[in-house]
Amino acid sequence: MKKSINISVAGKMGFHEGLKIIKDAGFEAVELNLRSPLNIDSTEDEVKRVRDEVLASGLEIASLLGGWYMLVSGRPDVRKEAEEELVKGLKICKNLGTDSLLVVPGAIRPFPGEEDPVSYDTAYERSLESIKRAIPVAEEQGVCICIENVWNKFLLSPVEMKRFIEEINSEYARVYFDVGNVLLTGFPEMWIRILGTMIKRIHLKDFKTSVGNAGGVCCLLEGDVNWPGVAEALKETGYDSYLTAEYGPYKYHPETIIYHLSLSMDKIMGRR
């Protein structure tokens, strides 16, 4: 497995300096975002310049965090725009040289301009249909649509997530598993064993369940994640790709948390 980190952790440090510190701290790869330094309308040349700068720093590009796509909205025009953005994200991944786009297909909640939350079954059907429509582009670009488990009141169990991926029925639809995000409702080691080879990428964060909200997110090894259990489950399922710490952005002294995360990940990975 390779040690990676999301570029957001560098905060206002600047992209170039952030890459240098991430490399100096012992990371092997970085996850980029469709917010900064890229955006959904970045040109091919702009994307390749970012790619070249990352590679020149000695880092690999683990994945692209595309983020939330409004695939479950009740408005057809909004869903269409979200599908177009998903396709753009896949093409940006291709030009970056990564085969993984992180996608959150939506949430069970009211959207701007909509009074009522989307019903669970409708959200399931809409997101499934939209992702299936994007699969031919994913296959053409050689990039996986990686569905992440987040606090969106949707795809709440590993069994349901597995079914969702199976129904898409393509090797270019996989899971971006976030270890810390499941702690309120489940056990990450169980998710890993149930999803198995459906997991394409992994986010690492820790969480204190006693807090019970976003304030419970904490540094690795300081929360309630059963890290030995997670490591054993990864070993059993043969996962051997990137582990990406997802923290930040940090306004003051981000180098401190970058080094802290690097050392913590070494411990989790059995390197120390």
- pLDDT, position 122: 94
Q: Indicate the number of domains in the chain.
A: 1
Q: What is the pTM of this model?
A: 0.96
Can you tell me which residue has the tokens 């399922």?
A: 237
- pLDDT, position 88: 97
Nearest CA to 136 among 102, 184, 162, 170? 170
Question: Hey, what are 136's tokens?
Answer: 């031919």
| 168: helix, strand or coil | helix
- pLDDT, position 113: 67
Whether residue 117 is preceded by a cis peptide bond, meaning omega within 30 degrees of 0, is no
Question: Hey, what are 64's tokens?
Answer: 């692209």
- pLDDT, position 130: 97
- Between CA 242 and CA 196 the distance in angstroms is 15
Q: How confident is the prediction along the chain (272 residues), in pLDDT tens digits per residue? A: 999 999 999 988 889 999 999 999 999 999 999 988 899 999 999 999 999 999 999 999 999 999 999 999 988 999 999 999 999 999 999 999 999 999 999 888 766 666 678 899 999 999 999 999 999 999 999 999 999 999 999 999 999 999 999 999 999 999 999 999 999 999 999 999 999 999 999 999 999 999 999 999 999 999 999 999 999 999 999 999 999 999 988 878 899 999 999 999 999 999 87
- pLDDT, position 111: 64
| 145: helix, strand or coil | strand
- Between CA 69 and CA 50 the distance in angstroms is 23
Nearest CA to 221 among 190, 262, 177? 262
**Domain of residue 105, CATH code:** 3.20.20.150
Q: Which domain holds residue 179?
A: 2-268
- pLDDT, position 249: 86
